């Protein structure tokens, strides 16, 4: 980010550069008091829009338990926190460090895992930790390609590339949206990867982890399941259980379907990998971390321990109802040729080709207060854009939407994408409908 005396960095996209320069000029002309007031105004406006006025179908978000959010503001998060619980470098932590033990205990109970590393700032960093624990720079790994919703952190542009790994595609059966086990075996014998990554930015159906495990055993590879989007459903027992089915490591984000504060986690049943992860975290890359986030995570895990199965079932029921309703409205819902369902998770995919691409469609419908985003699908390419749209039902489920409400969401979406109405004309109806759902469900309350 440039300072106020410089031009925008040349690598910034033109649209972003224009936005940044415009607001740098605006902020440069404001007094300290005005800046203080403007910061508070922007936060309030954001919360009103995203928390109360929008139908948020973005798959990478959720509304957390307000009791957990309140703990993020605790002074406990502003204190240094170095070392293992019970052996802290800084003193006066005898109360706070018990929270670390509590969170570890609850997470291993929730996921039925032996070990967890929760001192991770994000799901992307969790993937980097997993690479460091299993590979060395120059090693080959295999990951889902973009067309199979592979995540950037698995590829050259993300953590894998920054760590110096050589990334090869996991062969993918697009007719079933699953790993092509036979082709994977042939490729892995040739590539000899140190790590095979399963899952990524969207999971419509469970993957054949048993087959991946068998291939990994043949070539001496580790298996990583990236549960960034699936943590809540896995915790609720309504999706596949990666550690039981053969994954050596499961990484994940702690918001998205999980419903907690933004951060990451890594789970494993291997003591050897757990020790490596611990050393990477301390004294390695994490060292000090935010105990306010740890406290907020405890609330999120308690929510899932009590409501996880019901919440996960509701997310799936809403996704299946929404996909059917959108298809009935003439929206191009994506269904693999080899499947008889649109989805068995909280995710729904749309073919964005009729709408000019996923980014273009997301931008077009945003002024109607309907939020979603793009994704890669095994479809023809859209020049300069993604060919798919990804939808998630985790947040609207927490806001109390049920399957009976999906037809209205589909109809509002179709007014923009199918019928071509101006989004500004649809916005009022979206906001009026959304304001019927203002209570958060599937959370523990004081």
pLDDT number for residue 386? 97
Judge if 268 and 410 occupy the same domain. no
Q: Give the mean pLDDT of 148-172.
A: 96
Mean per-residue pLDDT, 69-88: 93
434, burial (CB in 10 Å: exposed 0-12, middle 13-18, buried 19+): buried
Distance CA 155, CA 210 (A): 24
At 7 the pLDDT is 61
User: What is the model's pLDDT at position 160?
Assistant: 98
Reported as a pLDDT band with limits 50, 70 and 90, residue 226 is very high
Is beta strand 373-375 parallel, antiparallel or unpaired with respect to 388-392?
antiparallel
Q: Scanning the structure block, which residue is given the tokens 């075996």?
A: 185
Contacts of residue 104, Cβ cutoff 8 Å, sequence gap at least 6: 116, 118
From first CA to last CA, the distance across the chain in angstroms is: 41
**Residue carrying the six token digits 């698995």:** 154
* 12 is a domain residue: no
Give the 3-state secondary structure of residue 349.
strand
Q: Is the pLDDT of residue 2 over 80?
A: no
Last residue of a domain, one of 260, 283, 301: 301
Residue 4: pLDDT band (50, 70, 90) is very low
Residues 261 and 324 in one domain: no
Residue 382 CB neighbour total at 10 angstroms: 18
Residue range 92-121: mean pLDDT, rounded? 97
The CA–CA distances, whole Å, from 391 to 166, 182, 348 equal: 31, 30, 5
Domain boundary, last residue among 281, 301, 321: 301
**Measured distance CA(394)–CA(26) in Å, rounded:** 37
Q: Does residue 314 sit within a domain?
A: yes
**How far is Cα 213 from Cα 223, in angstroms, rounded to an integer?**
7
For the segment 220-236, the average pLDDT, to the nearest whole number, is: 98
Range of 285's domain?
66-301
Q: Based on the fold, state whether residues 354 and 295 are members of the same structural domain.
A: no
Give the pLDDT of residue 6: 53
The verdict on 350 and 286 lying in the same domain is no
Q: What is the pLDDT of residue 5?
A: 47
Residue 111: closest CA among 251, 293, 289, 311: 251
Domains in the chain, number: 2
What's phi and psi for 289, nearest 5 deg? -150, 170
pTM metric for this prediction: 0.96
Mean of the per-residue pLDDT values for the chain?
A: 96
Say if residue 247 is in the same domain as residue 326: no
Model pLDDT for residues 172-201, shown as the tens digit of each residue: 999 999 999 999 999 999 999 999 999 999
330-387 pLDDT per residue, tens: 999 999 999 999 999 999 999 999 999 999 999 999 999 999 999 999 999 999 999 9
pLDDT band at 46, cuts 50/70/90?
A: very high
């Amino acid at each position: 980010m440039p300072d106020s005396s410089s031009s925008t960095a040349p690598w910034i996209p033109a649209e972003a550069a224009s936005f940044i320069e415009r607001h740098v000029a605006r902020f440069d002309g404001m007094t300290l008091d005005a800046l203080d007031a403007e910061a508070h105004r922007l936060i309030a406006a954001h919360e009103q829009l995203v928390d109360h006025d929008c139908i948020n179908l973005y798959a990478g978000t959720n509304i957390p338990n307000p009791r957990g959010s309140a703990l993020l503001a605790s002074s406990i998060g502003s204190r240094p926190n170095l070392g293992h619980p019970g052996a802290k470098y800084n003193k006066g932590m005898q109360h706070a460090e018990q929270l670390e033990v509590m969170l570890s205990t609850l997470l291993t109970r929730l996921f039925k895992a032996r070990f967890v590393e929760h001192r991770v700032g994000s799901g992307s960093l969790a993937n980097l930790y997993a690479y460091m624990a299993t590979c060395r720079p120059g090693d080959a790994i295999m990951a889902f390609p973009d067309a199979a919703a592979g995540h950037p952190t698995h590829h050259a542009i993300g953590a894998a590339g920054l760590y110096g790994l050589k990334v090869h595609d996991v062969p993918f059966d697009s007719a079933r949206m699953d790993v092509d086990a036979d082709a994977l075996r042939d490729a892995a014998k040739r590539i000899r990867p140190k790590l095979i990554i399963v899952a990524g930015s969207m999971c419509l159906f469970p993957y054949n982890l048993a087959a991946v495990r068998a291939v990994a055993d043949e070539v001496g590879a580790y298996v990583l399941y990236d549960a960034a989007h699936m943590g809540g459903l896995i915790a609720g027992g309504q999706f596949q259980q990666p550690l039981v089915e053969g994954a050596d490591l499961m990484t994940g984000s702690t918001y998205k379907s999980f419903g907690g504060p933004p951060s990451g986690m890594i789970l494993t049943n291997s003591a050897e990998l757990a020790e490596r992860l611990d050393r990477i975290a301390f004294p390695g890359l994490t060292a000090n971390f935010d105990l306010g986030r740890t406290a907020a995570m405890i609330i999120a895990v308690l929510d899932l321990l009590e409501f996880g199965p019901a919440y996960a079932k509701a997310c799936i029921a809403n996704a299946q109802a929404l996909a059917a309703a959108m298809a009935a409205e003439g929206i191009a819902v994506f269904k693999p040729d080899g499947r008889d369902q649109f989805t068995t998770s909280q995710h729904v995919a749309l073919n964005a080709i009729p709408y000019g691409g996923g980014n273009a469609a997301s931008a077009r419908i945003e002024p109607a207060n309907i939020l979603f985003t793009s994704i890669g699908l095994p479809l023809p390419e859209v020049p300069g854009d993604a060919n798919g749209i990804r939808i998630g039902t985790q947040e609207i489920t927490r806001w109390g939407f049920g399957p009976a409400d999906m037809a209205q969401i589909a109809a509002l979406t179709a007014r923009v994408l199918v019928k071509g109405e101006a989004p500004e004309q649809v916005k009022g109806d979206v906001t009026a409908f959304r304001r019927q759902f203002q209570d958060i469900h599937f959370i523990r309350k004081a």
